[in-house]
Amino acid sequence: RGTRRVRVRVASYEMADDERPAPDSLEQREAAIFEAERSMSSLHVAEVADHKFWETQPVGQLKPELDKRGPEGPIDDPMTVADVRQEGYALPDSFEWCSCDMNDAKTNEEVYELLDKNYVEDDDAMFRFCYSKEFLRWALQPPGYHMDWHLGVRVVGTGKLVAFISGVPARMVVNGKEIDLAEINFLCIHKKLRAKRLAPMLIREITRRVNLRGIWQAAYTAGVVLPKPIGTARYWHRSLNVKKLVEIGFTHLHARTTMSRTIKLFKLEPKPATPGIRPMVDADVPKVTALVNAYLRKFAVAPHFTEEEVKHHLSVREGVVYSYVVEDPDAPGSITDFVSFYSLPSTVIQGQGGHDTLRAAYSYYNVPAKTDIKQLMEDALILAKSKDFDVFNALDLMENARFLKDLKFGIGDGNLRYYLYNWRLNDVVEPSQIGLVLT
């Protein structure tokens, strides 16, 4: 979710200045695949990165004189649902609010089309994120979702959908305190309407609708610096299909680097090495829930999942999310480890190299227990490669830093900043203490 360049020349570092990786070994340089930063709001940075807007909101502030110090917890004074504005905020006369029913085929298509044509693409208009309709239903309809949190703006008269923002309910544990909150995502405004300052209106209205449900906190991410990040993570990238990446102009070989040498550098074993690794099935849900929740308790900021949520978020959905368990061969039925990744492709806009899609896998939730994390994630790379993914992306969250360099990931320069709305944290959270992955 950003607008950074993604074209890289492998090993030579001839790329846009704002995409230059940190110096490292040759292998890591050759692994440096950079993709657009993804954030809740960076697509509309001119509209929502205005700090005057955020300085009116209950968030940590960058200016010391505005930052309300106090104990960790809510920033705003306590409110009740009765205190919340009952009517929607006013829009310009030619626009009206709507709630988007993702079960309705026409509405699903409209949201898909809006994102497909107006969401994130690189500066050269070569690649654009392509959230599938199935992905959107998965991301927007977790257990207990509210349709009125799928907020759209339509043109009066024509009904054309021209803006969207979403919220979904979640339970988060922050420094030991459980919080029911909304995860905010998919802020998108039609390119022709960026000057209408719809983004602050969308944020205010989604906040009002969330508050009407008695929820007072939210979590979101951004590639830009807003008041005020609770923590920052860095993207790392591991190429799986170098030949295709070169053909589409996503990467370039240095004159002194041959295709065969680069392919050999990134070659993986044909099959996973961990005994007992297999796709997750419904019968695994109770044990996976216990395993994941126990693991996430290690981190300062992390979700807490019910079994129903684990079944929704982590069960295998072809083309959307892939999850694998390790069943101990010496103790049938015992689940010792877990690994997962989700699919977020990009459209190859100009069809370079005869390809129309760049297939990217993103590391999701992983639990190394009996199996070393490096081996577990190498198996994830092998499994992603077997599913025809071209690149595998991971943030340096949780324990991910333990495997990134060894598995030939290249460091990106794109930071993803984490934010909490109406919740004060007195100390910055290190990436190794962030256990939250927002799709």
Q: How far apart are CA 34 and CA 31, in angstroms?
A: 9
Starting at the earlier edge strand, list the strands of the sheet with 357-358: 127-129, 346-348, 357-358
| Under 8 Å between Cβ of 406 and 374 | yes
pLDDT in tens, 369-409: 999 999 999 999 999 999 999 999 999 999 999 999 999 99
Which position has the token pair 């993709």?
35
- How does 367-403 read in b/e, with b if 16+ C-beta sit within 10 Å? bbeebebebbbbbbbbbbbeeebbbbbbbbbbbbbbb
State residue 122's pLDDT score.
Answer: 53
| Under 8 Å between Cβ of 166 and 150 | yes
In this structure, how many other beta carbons lie within 10 angstroms of the beta carbon of residue 133? 15
Report the DSSP beta bridge partners of residue 128: 121, 347
| Under 8 Å between Cβ of 381 and 31 | no
Q: How far apart are CA 295 and CA 337, in angstroms?
A: 10
Using DSSP's 3-state secondary structure scheme, residue 277 falls into strand
In DSSP notation, 348-406 reads ETT-GGG--EE-EEEE---B-SSS-HHHHHHHHHHHHHHTT-SEEEEES-TTGGGTTTT
State residue 141's pLDDT score.
Answer: 98
In the chain, DSSP finds a helix count (H) and a strand count (E) of: 11, 18
Q: How far apart are CA 296 and CA 366, in angstroms?
A: 10
* Both structure tokens of 218: 């939210």
Report the DSSP beta bridge partners of residue 253: 10
Sort strands 410-421 and 218-222 into parallel, antiparallel or unpaired: antiparallel
In DSSP notation, 103-167 reads TSHHHHHHHHHHHHHHS-B-TTSSEEE---HHHHHHHH--TT--GGGEEEEEETTT--EEEEEEE
| Under 8 Å between Cβ of 325 and 275 | no
In DSSP notation, 203-271 reads HHHHHHHHHTTT---EEEEESS--S--SEEEEEEEEES-HHHHHHTTSEEE-TT--HHHHHHHT---SS
Which position has the token pair 């830093």?
401
Which position has the token pair 């010792």?
336
Question: Which pairs from 198-202 meet CB under 8 Å and 24+ separation?
Answer: 198/47, 198/91, 198/95, 198/153, 198/163, 199/41, 199/44, 199/47, 199/48, 200/47, 200/48, 200/50, 200/53, 201/89, 201/91, 202/151, 202/153, 202/163, 202/164, 202/165
Q: Name the stretches of the chain with pLDDT < 70.
A: 1-50, 120-125, 413
State residue 255's pLDDT score.
Answer: 79
Residue 430 is classified by DSSP as P
In this structure, how many other beta carbons lie within 10 angstroms of the beta carbon of residue 409? 27
State residue 28's pLDDT score.
Answer: 38
In this structure, how many other beta carbons lie within 10 angstroms of the beta carbon of residue 350? 13
- Segment holding 421, helix H or strand E: strand 410-421
State residue 65's pLDDT score.
Answer: 80
| Under 8 Å between Cβ of 281 and 43 | no
